[in-house]
Amino acid sequence: MREDPHVCRRCALAGPTCCQLSAGQEEFCFPLSVLEKDRIRDHLPDLGGFASAPNSASFVDGLSRLFPDERREVKALFPAGKEHLRLAVDAHGACRFLSPGGCLVPREARPYYCRLFPFWITGERITLFETPFCLAQQEHPKVGDLLAVLGLTTTQVASLHGSLRLAWGLPPRPGMDAVKKGF
Ligand code: SF4
Ligand code: SF4
């Protein structure tokens, strides 16, 4: 299986992508760390691409499901009554960094979850966010094939997930020694 450098562009031509939220799903948008925001700002002028959102019960619950063994830590990191940072979206739910030609942010400066999608780490395994719109996933439902098509390795996914954990404030997991604190 070879990398398909055009699959995300084909996906965008076919319909909504991982860069666009469905109406009413804004509350479940992943948080963005200050580090990730600053890195985007280093690469792009201020396009107004960031927003603050409340740590609502639904938001925290959704995030906790991603870290089922660390629900207490997630709640402590995103306390009720406070706010978190996230990417801003337009009236159609599209990320403000999304242009007709794709993401304006260079790949290495994109938020970790953008670079990880549709992969996640559950326990020791690479798992998938199952979505009806991910063309790459529709065409290549097996994790190994999908990794190759999206140009990622298992090591890179583990490293990105580890960096995301640190950026969000979660502690390193055992075996995460390879993740550099400086991201
Ligand atoms: S930053 Fe780029 S990759 Fe991430 S959601 Fe926005 S447009 Fe998509
Ligand atoms: S990762 Fe999947 S959902 Fe996101 S743009 Fe690529 S094919 Fe579409």
For 24-47, the pLDDT digits (tens) are: 888 889 999 999 999 999 998 777
Tell me the pLDDT of the chain averaged across its residues.
Answer: 90
* pLDDT band at residue 176 using 50, 70 and 90 as cut-offs: low
pLDDT value of position 177: 46
Long-range Cβ contact pairs of 79-82 (< 8 A, separation 24 or more): 79/55, 80/55, 81/54, 81/55, 82/54, 82/55
Ligand 1 atom at minimum distance from 40 CA: 1
Render pLDDT for 68-121 as a digit per residue (tens, 0 to 9). Answer: 999 999 999 999 999 999 999 998 899 999 988 889 999 999 999 999 999 999
Pick from 132, 155, 131, 153: nearest CA to 144: 153
129 lines ligand 2 (CB under 6 A): no
Q: Would you state the pLDDT for residue 132?
A: 86
Task: Return the C-alpha torsion angle 90, 106, 183, 124, nearest 10.
Answer: 80
Pocket of ligand 1 (CB under 6 A): 19, 87, 95, 97-98, 103, 105, 110-111, 114
Q: Whose CA is nearest to atom 2 of ligand 1?
A: 103
Closest residue to atom 3 of ligand 1, CA basis: 114
The pLDDT of residue 21 is above 80:
yes
Does residue 16's CB lie within 6 angstroms of at least one atom of ligand 2?
A: no
CB 21 within 8 A of CB 92: no
Helix/strand/coil for 20: strand
